[in-house]
Amino acid sequence: MLSIRDHSRDSAGMKYVYPVVSRRAGGVSIGINLNVNNACNWACIYCQVPGLKRGGPPPVDLARLEAELRDFLRGAVSGDFLERNAPPGFRQLVDLAFSGNGEPTSAREFPQAVDVAGRLLKEFGLPGLKLRLISNGSLMHQAGARRGIARIGELGGEIWFKIDRGTSAGILRVNGARTTPDKIRKAVSICARRAPTWIQTCLFSIDDQPPDPMEFDAYLELIASIKKQIEGVHLYGLARPSLQPEAKRLSTPSAESLSSFARRVAALGIRVIANP
């Protein structure tokens, strides 16, 4: 049985395709994992990927990806897959999501993989199934990433763009990435011009200490500066345990603290969806 607490990439016995129950999407998400070697250009301390390492993915076998996705969709839309595998309240397909075990846009074949997904959504008559990219947004300067995102926009899809903290130091600590708020603003602008873009933010405590108030203020300043370009903000806690060395130091904030911060974001005139 699928669960919000287990997003195993091999649950379907396939290389690239895996189903998960997504509390944020509200149903069963069909994941597409292009980073099958567990390599990412970021190293988020809350990441649930086992054996995470720095780097990019190997070449993507597009023919195998298409065959796996076709087989999975055939079983999911014509059989009793949802009744057998999804808990009550989540027994509906909600999206095809490029996510997986690393940054999807780092795959050279990312634009072609988007074309594969779009073609199969049309083949199976599933225009209502949302196409999503879950991204750290770090490669928006690359032509392939921009081309794939533009195609997602053409297909009626959307981007979930990661911003966890609002200062360079906070981003380095949480995401293991050297970047700046200004670079993030530019990347969001590139992304949002090509497809509807939501910001996704993970809230948690380190050593039982929430982020410094100055970090919260910097985050709110950053979000306020891009609010006209984005669809809204997804705030969420740690539904699944980290598999990184810092795991034991992390804890989920209380529902009240998450709600309190959600109200501060909403006060900026931004739509907020919060999931503890």
Domain ranges of the chain: 17-198
| Span of 70-79, 179-188, 230-239 with lowest mean pLDDT | 70-79
DSSP secondary structure code for residue 140 in this structure = T
Please tell me the predicted confidence (pLDDT) of residue 10. Answer: 55
Mean pLDDT of 48-67: 96
| Span of 11-20, 60-69, 84-93 with lowest mean pLDDT | 84-93
- Model confidence at 9, pLDDT cuts 50, 70, 90, reads low
* Encoded amino acid at 62, one letter: L
Residue in 24, 53, 26 with CA at minimum distance from that of residue 202: 24
Name the CA dihedral angle for 230, 234, 249, 169, rounded to a multiple of 10 degrees: 10
Return the structure tokens found at 56. 């990019």
CB under 8 A, 24+ apart: contacts of 70-78 = 70/120, 70/123, 71/14, 72/12, 72/14, 72/17, 72/19, 72/30, 73/30, 73/120, 73/124, 73/126, 74/124, 76/19, 76/28, 76/30, 77/124, 77/126
Options 3.30.230.10, 3.20.20.70, 3.40.640.10, 3.40.50.12780; CATH of 17-198 = 3.20.20.70
Q: Is the per-residue pLDDT at 90 higher than 50? A: yes
Q: What are the φ/ψ torsions at residue 179 (nearest 5 degrees)?
A: -150, 180
Mean pLDDT of 83-105: 85
Q: Could you give the percent of the chain with pLDDT greater than 70?
A: 93
In sequence order, which residues have a C-beta less than 8 Å from that of residue 13 and are 6 or more positions away? none
Mean pLDDT of 122-142: 94
Note if the pTM is more than 0.85: yes
Return the structure tokens found at 124. 């199976």
